[in-house]
Amino acid sequence: MLCTRRLGGLTARASALLPVRSRLGGFGAGLRARRVSTGWSPVGAAFNVKPQGLRLDLFGERRGLFGVPELSAPEGFRIAQENALRKTDLLVARACSTPPGPQTVLIFDELSDALCRVADLE
Mean pLDDT of the chain: 68
Report domain extents, the chain.
2-31, 63-121
At 33, give phi and psi (nearest 5°).
Answer: -150, 155
Please give the average per-residue pLDDT across 91-99, as a whole number.
93
Identity of residue 40: W
The string of pLDDT tens digits covering residues 48-87 is: 555 555 555 555 555 766 666 777 777 888 888 888 889 9
Helices (H), 1-122: 2-6, 12-15, 42-47, 76-97, 102-121
Q: In the predicted model, is pLDDT for residue 29 greater than 80? A: no
